[in-house]
Amino acid sequence: MSPVNPTERLEELRRLIRYHEERYFVLDDPEVADVEFDALVKELRQLESQHPDLATPDSPTRRVGGRATAGFDTVEHAQPMLSLDNAYSEDELRAFDERVRKGLGTAESVVYIAELKIDGLSIALTYEDGMLTRGATRGDGVRGEDVTANVRTIKAIPLRLKEAEASAPPGQVEIRGEVYLPKRAFERINREREEAGEALFMNPRNAAAGAMRNLDPALVARRGLSAFTYQIVGGPAFADSRPEGRPPRTSSAETGLPHVGADLQVGPPSSHRETGPWVGPRTHAETLETLRAWGLPVEAHWRRCRGVEELLSCCREWEERRRTLEFGTDGIVIKLDDLALRDLLGTTSKFPRWAIAFKFPAEQQTTRLKAIEVNVGRTGAVTPFAVLEPVVIAGSTISMATLHNAEDLTRKDIREGDWVIVEKAGDVIPRVVGPVLSRRQDDSVPWTMPAACPRCGAALCREADEVVWRCENTSCPARLQRGLEHFASRSAMNIEGLGESLIAQLLAGNLVTDCAGLYDLGEEVLAGLTSTSARSDGKAISRRFGEKNAAKVVAQIERSKGNELWRLIHGLGIRHVGERGAQLLARAFGSMDDLCDATTAQLQTAHEIGPVLAASVRSWCDEPQNRQLIERLRAAGVRMAVPPEERAAMPAPGPLTGKTYVLTGTLASMTREDATAAVERLGGKVAGSVSRKTTGVIVGAEAGTKAAKAEQLGIPILDETAFRTLIEPGPDRAALP
Ligand code: IVH
């Protein structure tokens, strides 16, 4: 049990919640992640239920949340705009389903509609005689702000509803939904704000709320907001005069309740109903169809699920798939399909009992930045990284995160000891988004790049036009370590078993000083080193590397002598020479000697080799120390040339040589692998992400953000037909990018 005084804790919780509510709802500048905020509310609610005598009428648990801001007229909602309860785990979703079935008195599976939870802000749209007359934000749930002028600028929201034959809109109707900022508009706005030196929006929701709050509709129009709708609340004509306006329903003999499970599509579908006064939809699926028929935007991926298992598989599917969407989503909203059954369950003061939001694992968390340390790469580039108080994000424990470069760190003014927001999206390396300024300690000081390399003490240098600081000492142990790791890596000499820890020991014991030294290593030397592995409880255990492992590594080193020339060129770690650059050089020059003798001009005549790469190769080869290294490698027996027969077999430049494509979405006629192979066969490259250097983006079904990024950068987009023309022989290819 917690030793704190409940009265004090209650007060503290209420104060904290009010503070964070204001940051979130009013200032659009939250300081804590949603989960953290929800945890505070949960704790408050628990404490209040344990101590009912200490509950107060103004507690945040009694309100829907949020307040109105100055600048807009306040309007009252016909019905309160409720929020949704959250489920953070499969068990919590199962518990919700049980509550629903218990409430309905049924053991059978219930039909739900699963919708994507749009990361935006809720909006209530009033249509009178089919014309948009009002748009209001949620505000505190009872009263919101009249943002009609801004809503009118959102192209997705029709100013006039369509007259659908079977479901003509009634005299007055309120439609609810979500206004959101598409991902690409979010990125654009943040780029603009960054250039203007303004604080960045943390997520699309805040950016959308910020845009809606703008008092100048002309500016709002330029923000590129969009919307989806999902709810019809009645005007006097229908829906909320339920159940009177509805025909009687079939009910189950035993319970007297509407029959659940066997057929929830009570009554004929809307399109088959008799004409007469419109009674409104009876299921949520009908609601969504009606909204569509009226010309309103409805997010298309909603799904009808029978029972909790179908819901769970839908939630699991979208956890990854959501990344392909054009808008942000942080969960799945689950709603009971049958509207009459919803009435039976009713609502609490804050949430409907018939709906819940299943939240995807949080991708942002706040934690303490223990220290900022720097890492020295093999080219000497020094990059800062964050050492964090460990925190679980999206299911994995994060204790380190990137900070990009020193300039970025200074611009964001991230300091040691700060509370910071950390983000992890998918398989992307975790990064520090920014500091939580209100939690900064008074005695904190801005971070500065160390003047000297933390490993070798050499002064750090930065070239005038570069952002990167470097340690220029070529014998810096940190650089040697990374250089040897690179040499042994899979994309270079591919020496299995020669990992980080072994290399560190070899350097520490002065057993090697460069890559040529690896070829002198004997089994007995390696056998005496230690290998470290993690025990199941996380503790590290060290044991002697041993004869068997040593023999394996030595055999791998021996085998690497016969590697293709490009592997060696890549492994040497010449700046700007990546895997492909090394392949091009090997193909063009055929031997290490010819490569080393080539002038910058000759280097540039090689296909795809530009001035930067050529100059880098030249200056590397001009270093006597590097020439000696090559001689030592040669003496050790490492292959220095491409055998003539292999050189002849190397593919000649093709029609797509020099071009780079990005694939996104699913192609109907071939797999991603086949498409990649086809491009490469013709000399082209396939890259994973869109940049200004991309020649074209090949877009299949359900394409993700890459297509949007291409559009934004003005990069040509090829559909599947155009792509086939590109890879099939014929004259039309020439017309394509
Ligand atoms: S239904 C009474 N459906 O999430 C139920 N809400 O966290 C009203 N939201 O206030 C909400 N996507 O602003 C519903 N497909 C969706 C939604 C959605 C996003 C928002 C909405 C709500 C908030 C609750």
> What CATH number should be reported for the domain whose range is 477-560?
1.10.150.20
Q: Is the pLDDT of residue 553 over 90?
A: yes
Per-residue model confidence (pLDDT) at position 672: 85
Q: How far is it, in rounded angstroms, from Cα 734 to Cα 725?
A: 9
Q: Give the domain 364-470 fold.
A: OB fold (Dihydrolipoamide Acetyltransferase, E2P) (2.40.50)
Rounded Cα distance, 66 and 270, in Å? 37
The CA dihedral of 726, 731, 734, 737, to the nearest 10 degrees, is: -30
Q: 83 CB under 6 A from ligand 1?
A: yes
Atom 12 of ligand 1, residue of closest alpha carbon: 117
Ligand 1 contacts CB of residue 338 (under 6 A): no
Please report the pLDDT score of residue 245 as a whole number: 35
Can you tell me whether residue 513 is helix, strand or coil?
coil
pLDDT of residue 671: 84
Q: How far apart are CA 620 and CA 614, in angstroms?
A: 10
Answer whether residue 69 shows pLDDT above 80: no
Identical fold for domains 477-560 and 565-649, yes or no, is yes
**Around Cβ 513, how many Cβ atoms within 10 Å?**
13
Q: Tell me the β-bridge partners of 434.
A: 421
Taking residues 642-671, report their average pLDDT.
77
What residue ranges in 337-484 does DSSP mark as E strands? 355-359, 364-376, 381-393, 396-402, 419-423, 431-435, 460-461, 469-471
Residue ranges covered by each domain of the chain: 6-62, 86-359, 364-470, 477-560, 565-649, 660-735
- Checking if the pLDDT of 23 tops 70, the result is no
Please report the atom of ligand 1 found closest to the CA of residue 84. Answer: 24
| 281-327 pLDDT per residue, tens | 999 999 999 999 999 999 999 999 999 999 999 999 998 899 889 99
The residue among 526 and 581 whose pLDDT is bigger is: 526
> How far does residue 31's CA lie from ligand 1's centre (Å)?
22
The yes-or-no verdict on residue 62 having pLDDT over 80 is no
Rounded to whole angstroms, the Cα distance separating 239 from 341 reads 14
Mutate to test the pocket of ligand 1, among 81, 125, 142, 178 (most ligand atoms within 8 A of CB): 178
Poorest-pLDDT segment among 30-34, 125-129, 353-357, 430-434: 30-34
Mean per-residue pLDDT, 704-711: 82
Of 18-22, 699-703, 726-730, where does the model show the most confidence? 699-703
In the 8-state DSSP scheme, what is residue 258?
B
CA of 126 to the centre of ligand 1 (A): 18
- Lowest model confidence (mean pLDDT) among 174-178, 480-484, 490-494, 700-704: 700-704
Do 377 and 573 touch, CB atoms closer than 8 A?
A: no
Q: Which residues contact 216 (CB under 8 A, 6 or more apart)?
A: none
CB of 156 within 6 A of ligand 1: the answer is no
Return the CATH class of domain 660-735: alpha beta
pLDDT interval class at 22 (50, 70, 90): low
Q: Which fold has domain 6-62?
A: Helix Hairpins (1.10.287)
**77, 69, 328, 82: which is closest to 210 by C-alpha?**
69
Place 270 in a pLDDT band, splitting at 50, 70 and 90.
very low
- The pLDDT of 659-663, averaged and rounded, is 89
With a pLDDT cut of 90, the percent of the chain lying above it is: 43
Q: At what angle do helices 307-321 and 90-104 cross, to 10 degrees?
A: 150
Q: In what order do the strands lie in the sheet with 303-306?
A: 86-87, 355-359, 329-336, 111-118, 303-306
69 compared with 199, residue with greater pLDDT: 199
CA dist list (Å): 604 to 204, 621, 640, 648:
45, 15, 21, 21
C-alpha span between 255 and 107 (Å, rounded): 12
Q: Comparing 203-207, 482-486, 585-589, which segment has the lowest mean pLDDT? A: 203-207
Give bridge partners of residue 388 from the DSSP assignment. Answer: 369
Q: Picking from 259-268, 282-291, 330-339, which range would have the lowest pLDDT averaged per residue?
A: 259-268
Supply 498's token pair.
């020669």
CB 59 within 8 A of CB 131: no
pLDDT above 50 (res 404): yes
710 phi/psi in degrees, rounded to 5: -60, -45
Q: Please state the rounded mean pLDDT for residues 533-553.
A: 80
347 ligand 1 Cβ < 6 A: no
Closest atom of ligand 1 relative to the 355 alpha carbon:
5
Report the number of secondary-structure helices (H) and strands (E) in the chain.
25, 24
Q: Which residues have CB under 8 Å from 223's CB, separation 6+?
A: 181, 185, 189, 211, 214
Range among 75-89, 160-174, 329-343 rated most confident: 329-343
Homologous superfamily, domain 86-359: DNA ligase/mRNA capping enzyme (3.30.470.30)
At residue 543, what are phi and psi to the nearest 5 degrees?
Answer: -145, 165
What are the pLDDT digits (tens) for 428-466? 678 898 898 888 998 999 999 999 999 999 999 988 777
Q: By the 8 A CB rule, do 420 and 451 touch? A: no
User: Is residue 122 lining ligand 1, measured as CB closer than 6 Å?
Assistant: yes
Asked whether the predicted pLDDT for residue 268 surpasses 80, the reply is: no
Closest CA to 47 of 13, 15, 20, 17: 13
Span from the CA of 174 to the centroid of ligand 1 (angstroms): 15
63/140 Cα distance (integer angstroms): 8
Tabulate helix, strand, coil % of the chain (nearest 5).
Answer: 40, 20, 40
pLDDT at 100: 97
Q: Is the pLDDT of residue 357 over 90?
A: yes
Q: How far from chain centre, in Å, is Cα 383?
A: 23
Per-residue pLDDT at 513: 92
Contacting residues for 156 by C-beta, under 8 A, at least 6 apart: 226, 227, 228, 297
Q: Is the pLDDT of residue 707 over 90?
A: no
* pLDDT exceeds 80 at position 732: no
DSSP string across 590-637: -BHHHHHH--HHHHHHSTT--HHHHHHHHHHHH-HHHHHHHHHHHHHT
Contacts of 411 (CB under 8 A, 6+ apart): none
Q: What is the mean pLDDT of residues 591-618?
A: 89
Distance (Å) from CA 83 to ligand 1 centroid: 7
- At residue 653, the pLDDT reads 58
> Band of the pLDDT at 59, cuts 50, 70, 90?
confident
Q: Which residues lie closer than 8 Å to 78 by C-beta, 6 or more apart?
A: 174, 233, 235, 240
Examine the pLDDT at 646 and tell me if it is beyond 90.
no
The verdict on the CB of residue 117 being under 6 Å from ligand 1 is: yes
- The ligand 1 atom at the shortest distance from the C-alpha of residue 357 is 7
Nearest 5°: the CA angle 17, 432, 471 is 155
Confidence of residue 730 (pLDDT cuts 50, 70, 90): low
pLDDT digits (tens, 9 = 90+) for 713-723: 888 888 888 89
Amino acid residing at 21: E
Are the CB atoms for 308 and 166 separated by under 8 Å? no
CATH of 565-649, one of 3.40.390.30, 1.10.150.20, 2.60.210.10, 1.10.3720.10: 1.10.150.20
Cβ(80) – ligand 1 distance below 6 Å: no
Tokens found for residue 139: 């505000």
The residue to mutate among 24, 63, 77, 84, having the most atoms of ligand 1 within 8 angstroms of its beta carbon, is 84
Backbone CA torsion sign across 716, 722, 728, 734: negative
pLDDT at residue 423 is higher than 60: yes
What ligand 1 atom has the least distance to the C-alpha of 117? Answer: 12
Q: How many CB atoms lie within 10 A of CB 621?
A: 18
Angle between helix axes 611-622 and 624-636 (nearest 10 degrees) is 80
Report the nearest-CA residue for atom 7 of ligand 1: 84
The answer, yes or no, to whether any atom of ligand 1 lies below 6 A from the CB of 115, is yes
- Phi, psi dihedral angles at 533 (to 5 degrees): -140, 165
Whole-model pTM: value is: 0.53
Other residues' Cβ atoms within 10 Å of the Cβ of residue 247? 10
Is-contact 179 208, C-beta < 8 A? Answer: yes
What's the pLDDT score for residue 338?
Answer: 96
Task: Provide mean pLDDT across the span 339-345.
Answer: 95
Angle between helices 204-212 and 183-195 in degrees, nearest 10:
80
| Ligand 1 atom nearest 119 alpha carbon | 19
Average pLDDT, the chain: 84
Residue carrying the six token digits 């000083």? 513
> Could you tell me which residues come within 8 angstroms of residue 692 by beta carbon, excluding any fewer than 6 positions away?
713, 715
Give 592: exposed, middle or buried? Use CB within 10 Å, 0-12, 13-18, 19+.
buried
Residues ≥6 apart with Cβ < 8 Å to 301: 115, 116, 318
Summarize pLDDT for 178-223 with one digit per residue, the tens.
Answer: 999 998 898 888 788 777 766 667 678 888 888 888 777 877 888 8
- Please indicate whether residue 140, judged by its CB atom, sits closer than 6 Å to ligand 1: no
